[in-house]
Structure 1
């Protein structure tokens, strides 16, 4: 997983409430076990609508999604986080998230930022014409217009995202201790 410190760029001003995981990545795309290529199916039902933000050249390459309340509700499919990551999304800002989606996003290196509705409304407006910036270390979202919104994040999640550690990375960081334990057990209990 790549470390996250600052995320800056254009944002998709989605703003929709209750975007469930079936909207993020429809069921027909769940037949794969690879993370690659899912971005093309992301938000398929929204992309079917003329003038949608995901196909608007103004937002090409956007790495942030600004959404409405309860983003990621529905099923527990991890493919939703995979699809966002495959699209190049590094962060989602919303007033609230489904707990399961938030956990899946975190485990896949996507920052979920919870802000009050008023802050989200302001960011939706700014995102139509200007980039926004997220500073994970300072736990803030800023705009070119001097807006500054702070957010809370679980300290463990913050540590992992800042250091690019997923579950495998955390285990590998303990390689010396694990190897030492295995050697000790092999000496003490050779029958194992």
Structure 2
């Protein structure tokens, strides 16, 4: 199947380790694009595509905000599941190298996230990225995070769709809806937080 044949516009990011470049797939074979974009170094072999040697796109763009922008998205909602830095204890030279690499990746990720219209952060850092045994818990955290931003998302969509009609009363109305949804999900009124 070709990317062009998908019913929803699709794009993904891969890292070309041969040329040190970010690669965005928006056309061509879907299998190659997806394989390249999730080829974790050290776990899966790089994917060869022409003269490129491709690995997971997260090495150059952990949250593909720029990819979405370049594809023409009017609104970019970034879902960030990255963990914050844990407390650091200098134990060895390798620890320092790994920490410096982590700091670089988080710093670059934060720069990219600034280009998003809305950032949804699901609190899932306590679950290892390779742990697939807790899907319901992950879904629940994602749902709660999305609902917390629902009013903001609706307002952003409204501003893009009908910019001349946006005013403070609409923002207040959407906030009330958000509070009611959160109360339903969490079981407690917003003012109890």
TM-score normalised by length of structure 1: 0.32
Select the structure that is richer in helix: 2
TM-score normalised by length of structure 2: 0.32
